[in-house]
Structure 1
Amino acid sequence: MLPSSRSSPPPPWDGVPWGEATSSAALRHYQSLPKKGKPQGRESTVLAAFLLSTPQDPRSPTVLSLATGTKCLGAARLRHHGDLVHDAHAEVVARRALLRLIYTEIGRNSSPDWLVTSGTGEKWRLRDGHHLHLYITQLPCGVMPVPPSPSELLREQLDSGNGCSDFGFVQRKPGRGDTTLSMSCFDKITRWSVVGIQGALLSHILEPLYLSTVTIGQSPNGALEGFSIENNIKKVLDARLSSLSSKLPLPFKLNKQLFFEAPIPPKEFQQTSGDVPPLTCG
């Protein structure tokens, strides 16, 4: 948002189990949906949700958009006519659904409950006291190279930015077969920390929309030695963005969202490991 004199109350996630609050809200919404399209048997998937907290009920966030997905197209199958979805990872699809919701909200005859026009009346912005949050059932791809077992993870990989000595290096999504050209989900979260999640088209009518928190589900195999969602991911993100702090034109800013750890998600969101190849839900 543009700098202003509006005072900011303490964030609602101070002193509360925020990871449990966001994950519970997202999983309740997911469980209320029909069975079609959900993992069956040994299948698993990734769930991502954008949530909104309000001044009226700051500690009970509401789901704005939700999606599952682990697929993306390889480079050989990319189309330049806009008739194929290149990236269908959960975080990306959930963001698309959120943008569609924003268009719908702004297009209504009545003012949205959580969006308001700015002081000049030229653009929309998030209402005062409202905060946007992201929940993901597992570490977003691109955060770190996951080894076959925790014992094979070198401590130096965490200290040097998840095994990548160049924090500015753009990573592609992992996968088998045809190599993808899609940016990793963590790279996209990094981009959202600078330009917002609204995208180029909505930027004409909406001020940059930034995340306040990102909550990630714990691994069922336990945390890797020396790794902490709250500390290590924030450390890597801050290092990647540090060189941009003095180069951003208004209304953009270097957003400092907080990271939280959520309880282990249900079995259908747990990725299998070992010799058994994972089965992902289409």
Structure 2
Amino acid sequence: MNRSAGRLSRHRRGPVAGLAVLLLGLLVSGGLYAALSPSSSASSTASDEQLVKEGRELFLVGCAFCHGQNGEGQTDVNGKLIGPSLVGVGAAAVDFQVGTGRMPLAAPGQQGPAKPQTYNDDEIAALAAYVASLGPGPAIPTEADYSTTGLTDEEKQAAVVRGGQIFLTNCTACHNFTGEGGAMPRGGYAPRILDTSPKHIYEAMLTGPGPMDNFSNGNLSPEEKRDVIAYIQSMRDQPGFGGFSLGALGPVSEGLFAWIVGLGVCVAFAVWIAAHTTRSTKKKESQA
């Protein structure tokens, strides 16, 4: 009995026993993963499908009149475009347009202004999921894409400097060097961006809404977009240095002020001098 027990003990301590235990552990863990992983994936798929379904219901009620029943776009009887195709615009475009209140429009127009949201955040997420299902496009950015949180003070300052160079090169022609916006050709306008949220600024650069250029990740990297946003946020905190800001619209308003007020004062002063001189002359002649 002692000899057989000793043999068993030696076998249990041998390398074959250790290998058998390792294989048994792998089989158990693999079986558990195979049993649990499919159910998690199926649950996620079902959740996405439900979100897309909810988004389609909202789309048919509030968006299909202009964009078509399947997001294919819509034209009137004369062939004039009412609403563009949404296939391939991505969830980011929906989150920007609906999240800033630009969509839905009461009636098709030149350019949708920013206004309070019509849909709540859950409904916007559902609409974005449905439009994203129509074709591949830019996804909604996360806070890590546009936030400088986690950077040191030196890195934040460097990001502001880089963002300022990009903004002055690519954005000031439309949005003004102060971000106050301005008029555009054909009745369009570049909106004021100082009060726009960082997420929506990122989405605007990513998707190019309206007359705005599209700065995809191939044109501006995600880090460069983040730097531009850091610069725009820094402009909000810039102090005024005295004088009239005149809307901070640059040389147009300043030149108009100079012509109307500056020259107006000069003309009024000249008229006053002429009138005063005429009265003085007439008075002297009457006394003579």
Do they fold alike, i.e. is TM over 0.5? no
Give 1 or 2 for the bigger CA radius of gyration: 2
Range of TM-score over shorter length:
under 0.3
Q: Structure 2-normalised TM-score?
A: 0.23
Instruction: Identify the structure with the greater helix proportion.
Output: 2
Q: Structure 1-normalised TM-score?
A: 0.23
Instruction: Identify the structure with the greater strand proportion.
Output: 1
**Structure with higher RCO (Cα < 8 A, 6+ apart):** 1
